[in-house]
Amino acid sequence: MTHLEKITEDNFVEAFNLKLAPEQERFVSHPIRSLAQAYVYRQQCQPFGIYENDTMVGYVMVIYDYDVPEYDIWHMMIDASHQGLGYGSAALDRVLAYIKTKPFGASDRVVLTCSKDNARALGLYRNKGFVPTGAVFEDEVELVLNLRR
């Protein structure tokens, strides 16, 4: 069963060992970079390993933006050897369930960005109800989901 586990001193090396397919490396930052950001923003974020049973198959970070306020999903990725098996979809469901508990503050707004060239990820996000806001940052489009719907 797909589930999330907080990144801790016990499993961060597993996250470092995750790999994207070479053509995907331009779409998502490696967990090493993301975990450095998690340290900086530690009062407002939570990095997770995405697990299938006991195997880490991916990584995602949830961050709360107190200025807006909103929840942001950063750096979601599934290891190249585990793609196409539904783990991304299942993990996104778990991430949204976590956000619904409002661990950092009240907000029903969930935002993420995705490369306009990453058709698979854009399809996944749209299937989960995310809609483009019209904002574009470099080559990434912003998508938003309102959890109250």
pLDDT-based confidence at 149, cuts 50/70/90? low
**CA–CA dist 47, 39 (Å, integer):** 10
**CA–CA dist 81, 137 (Å, integer):** 29
pLDDT tens, position by position, 92-140: 999 999 999 999 999 999 999 999 999 999 999 999 999 999 999 988 9
Domains of the chain: 2-110 (3.40.630.30)
pTM: 0.93
Checking phi first, is residue 8 left (phi over 0); if not, alpha (psi -120 to 50) or beta? beta
Q: Is 28 a residue whose pLDDT tops 70?
A: yes
pLDDT tens, position by position, 2-19: 999 999 999 999 999 999
